[in-house]
């Protein structure tokens, strides 16, 4: 250092109160924006998760009917946004509940179940809301909508092959 130059500060080093308040305010604003994005992501995941769970249940029940040589039924309750797996029939007269009611997650709803049933051999508490899987590998054709805030995922069952798909 040269003899004539000195570094001196006339004030203390650090941040002012205004600088700290502005920084904290910016952190709260960015955190709030992140929270809204997280809520939207959570709702979208609930929607996808419910559709995936329904597809998985239908596929498992179809495979179970084929491997065990028994008739199984899945009754979709659009009013309660839930489904129940039954052995033999979708009713307490002649049917046995295998899995209790599964509920849709969050604000997700089951809308417009429309499955083509033979009313004489395939009873259903609510018309068109039951999916039968028969031991020969066939199923009840139709579809149901898994809906959340205007977005919908269609879950479909093909009758001849009992193939379950979503779109």
* Domains located in the chain, CATH noted: 17-166 (3.55.40.10)
pTM over 0.85? The answer is no
Please tell me the distance from the alpha carbon of residue 122 to that of residue 101, in angstroms, as a whole number: 20
Number of other residues whose CB lies within 10 A of the CB of residue 66: 18
Tokens at residue 81, please? 């946004």
Mean pLDDT computed over every residue of the chain: 89
The residue ranking higher by pLDDT, 34 or 154, is 154
The residue ranking higher by pLDDT, 10 or 58, is 58
Residue 157 near residue 164, CB atoms below 8 Å: yes
The predicted-structure confidence for 83-92, as pLDDT tens digits, reads as follows 999 999 888 7
DSSP 88: S
pLDDT of residue 160: 94
pLDDT of residue 1: 54
> In which band, very low, low, confident or very high, does the pLDDT at 3 lie, cut at 50, 70 and 90?
low
pLDDT of 10 strictly over 70: no
pLDDT of residue 18: 93
The predicted-structure confidence for 36-90, as pLDDT tens digits, reads as follows 888 889 888 999 999 999 999 999 999 999 999 999 999 999 888 999 999 998 8
> In which band, very low, low, confident or very high, does the pLDDT at 24 lie, cut at 50, 70 and 90?
very high
Residue 83 Cα to chain centre, angstroms: 13
In the chain, % of residues over pLDDT 90? 59
The residue ranking higher by pLDDT, 33 or 106, is 33
Across 20-29, 50-59, 103-112, 144-153, least confident range: 103-112
Q: DSSP letters along 93-133, please?
A: TT-EEEEEEEEPPTT-EEEEEEE---TTTS--SSTT-EEEE
Beta strands in the chain (DSSP E): 72-77, 82-87, 96-103, 109-115, 130-133, 142-148, 151-157, 164-166
The helix/strand/coil state of 153 is strand
């Amino acid at each position: 250092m040269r003899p004539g130059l000195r570094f001196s500060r006339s004030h203390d080093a650090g941040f002012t109160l205004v600088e700290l308040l502005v920084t904290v305010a910016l952190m709260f604003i960015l955190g709030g924006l992140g929270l809204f994005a997280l809520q939207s992501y959570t709702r979208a995941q609930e929607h996808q998760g419910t559709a995936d769970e329904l597809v998985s249940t239908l596929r498992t029940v179809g495979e179970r009917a084929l491997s065990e040589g028994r008739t199984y039924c899945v009754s979709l309750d659009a009013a309660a946004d839930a489904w129940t797996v039954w052995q033999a029939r979708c009713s307490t007269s002649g049917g046995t509940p295998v899995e209790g009611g599964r509920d849709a997650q969050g604000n997700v709803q089951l809308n417009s179940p429309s499955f083509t049933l033979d009313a004489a051999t395939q009873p259903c508490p609510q018309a068109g809301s039951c999916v039968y899987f028969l031991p020969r590998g066939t199923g009840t054709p139709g579809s149901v909508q898994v809906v959340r805030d205007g977005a919908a995922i269609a879950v479909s069952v093909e009758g001849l092959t009992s193939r379950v798909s979503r779109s």
